[in-house]
Amino acid sequence: MSEIERVRAGSDEVLLGELLAGARLRDAAESAQMSYSTARRRMDEQAFVDRLTAARAELRSAIVRRLDAAVGRALARLETLVDEGETETVQLQASRTLLQHGPSIASSVELRERLEAIETELGLDPRTGWRSGGKATAA
C-alpha cells in the first residue's frame, strides 16, 4: 500500500467515525482533514456507502442488544419492588410503572418479531434491510 493509499484509508476511517457519531458531512470532512468536495465524492462511492451503512446497522444492533438487556433487568427490578418493596408506596409505584409501560413494551417486542419474520420471508437481513448478497432494497 502506498503512502497516499494509507493516508486516504486513515482519512476515510475518520470520516466514517465522525459520520457514525452524527456529524454533518462538512464537519466530518474537516475532522478527517479532507475537503468537503472530497467527502462528497466518498459519499458517491458505493463501497464507502456500503461500509457506512453496515457500520450504522451494527451500531443500531449493538444499541438494541444493550436496550434488551437493560429492559430485562429493569423488569426484574420492578417485579421485585412490586412484591417486596419496602413500603406500600414503593410497591404501588412499581405496579403503576408496569401497568403504564408494560403494554407498549410488549407491543414493541411483538412488532419487532413480526417484522423480523417478514424480512426473513423476503430474504432480507434484518440488520440492514439488504437482500443476501449485499444489495440495498428499494424500500
Give the pLDDT of residue 138.
Answer: 45
Range among 1-10, 67-76, 124-133 rated most confident:
67-76
pLDDT in tens, 9-19: 788 999 999 99
pLDDT in tens, 41-91: 999 999 999 999 999 988 988 998 898 889 889 999 999 999 999 999 999
Grid cell listed for 80 = 421485585
* Residue spans per domain, the chain: 1-44, 57-128
> Do residues 119 and 125 make contact, with C-beta atoms less than 8 angstroms apart?
yes
> What average pLDDT score do residues 108-112 get?
86
Cα pseudo-dihedral 106, 128, 48, 67, rounded to 10: 20
